[in-house]
Amino acid sequence: MIDVERIRLTDNLYLIPAPNQSRFPFCNSFLITGKQRVLIDTGIGRDNIRLIDKEKRIDVLIISHSHPDHIVGWETLSDRFLFLPKETPYAVKDLTLLGKRFAETPERAEYWTKSIARRFDLKVLRDPDGRYGDGDILDFGNFSLKAVHAPGHLNDHYCFTDTQGQAIITTDIDFTSFGPWYGNPECDIEVFQQSIRKVMDMPHTVACSSHKPPVFGNAEQEFKAFMAIFDRQRNLVLDLYNSLHHLEKIVDASPFYRHRVPDNRLRIMFETVMVKKNLALLLRDGLIPSNLSEKNL
């Protein structure tokens, strides 16, 4: 049987690297072994999930948050105990509602459902067998996790730390050079920053995200570098506003994606939200004119 790559983080906890260097639409998964076998997120691909399950049956599936790269393929384990965050809304049971949650307008919501949900054969989630909240201890016999609510990236976004204080699973506090992603309407830049500060202060000997290899030792520099990108992004939007003075022109300049998304409609959808969130903070802080029109914001 072909073995699935895994990286040992601590006793009974492994990172399963995702295909395509863990870039969207994939993400790393995390495997807990021992008395109960637990998988966190399903972005490693259906074939890899089946191989891990064939090796030894997975008992529990935990979803860290409801972005598509973290739930795609979940149906391969649909008959297992399913844990969802308590903040995860009913929208995850309906692809049309999920599109409305993740997009600003009905037209864009419809396109989200068509282009993402259908392209990646995303299946709606069922009612969970259990829900977890901030500070809850998820005990799996000889290994337990503490759930850490970390909104801003998404309302139901969670990180996890093992109760021995060794490993932090930072999920989409992901240490990538792209930086923090907040391209859905419910995202919040300042809440995201608060969540990062909360997680980075937790004791750890290894930190591992959903889209990068693990960082062994203290990850303070990686957290700080990730946080610094918020300022870089805001300054870039400010510079573009000062030269272009118009939302659509700033989005056309593609300050975040640099025109590297094959689907330009999706790029515009997400980049518009991210630009607007930065403009709103710049407006609040008096760095752009107070008479900025709603059309430009």
SS3 30: strand
d(CA 255, CA 104): 19
Instruction: Decide if 100 is inside a domain.
Output: no
Same domain flag for 165 and 259: no
Same domain flag for 252 and 190: no
Instruction: Decide if 97 is inside a domain.
Output: no
Specify the pLDDT at position 288: 92
Same domain flag for 197 and 242: no
Instruction: Decide if 151 is inside a domain.
Output: yes
Instruction: Decide if 260 is inside a domain.
Output: yes
- Note the pLDDT tens digit of each residue in 163-185: 998 999 999 999 999 999 999 99
- List Cβ<8 Å contacts ≥24 apart for 232-237: 232/179, 233/179, 233/180, 233/274, 233/278, 234/278, 234/281, 234/282, 237/275, 237/278, 237/279, 237/282
Q: Which residues contact 213 (CB under 8 A, 6 or more apart)?
A: 7, 15, 17
Same domain flag for 199 and 253: no
Specify the pLDDT at position 182: 98
How far from 35 is each of 93, 101, 146, 289, CA to CA, in Å?
Answer: 31, 37, 18, 60
Same domain flag for 40 and 170: yes
Specify the pLDDT at position 224: 98
Same domain flag for 263 and 185: no
Domain count across the chain:
2
Domain boundary among 218, 244, 273: 218
Q: In 3D, which of 55, 25, 65 has the Cα closest to residue 154?
A: 65
Same domain flag for 178 and 281: no
User: Average pLDDT, whole number, for the chain?
Assistant: 94
Instruction: Decide if 109 is inside a domain.
Output: no
Same domain flag for 135 and 278: no
Domain boundary among 187, 218, 249: 218
Same domain flag for 251 and 190: no
Same domain flag for 57 and 188: yes
Same domain flag for 246 and 211: no
Specify the pLDDT at position 20: 92
Instruction: Decide if 104 is inside a domain.
Output: no
Please determine, for residue 296, whether its predicted confidence score (pLDDT) is greater than 60: no
Domain boundary among 162, 195, 218: 218
Same domain flag for 210 and 246: no
Instruction: Decide if 105 is inside a domain.
Output: no
- Note the pLDDT tens digit of each residue in 83-134: 999 999 999 999 999 999 999 999 999 999 999 888 889 999 999 999 999 9
Please determine, for residue 245, whether its predicted confidence score (pLDDT) is greater than 80: yes
- CATH code at 64? 3.60.15.10
- Note the pLDDT tens digit of each residue in 246-264: 999 999 999 999 999 999 9
Domain range enclosing 58: 7-88+125-218
> Residue 176 burial (CB < 10 Å; 0-12/13-18/19+)?
middle
d(CA 204, CA 202): 6
Instruction: Decide if 191 is inside a domain.
Output: yes
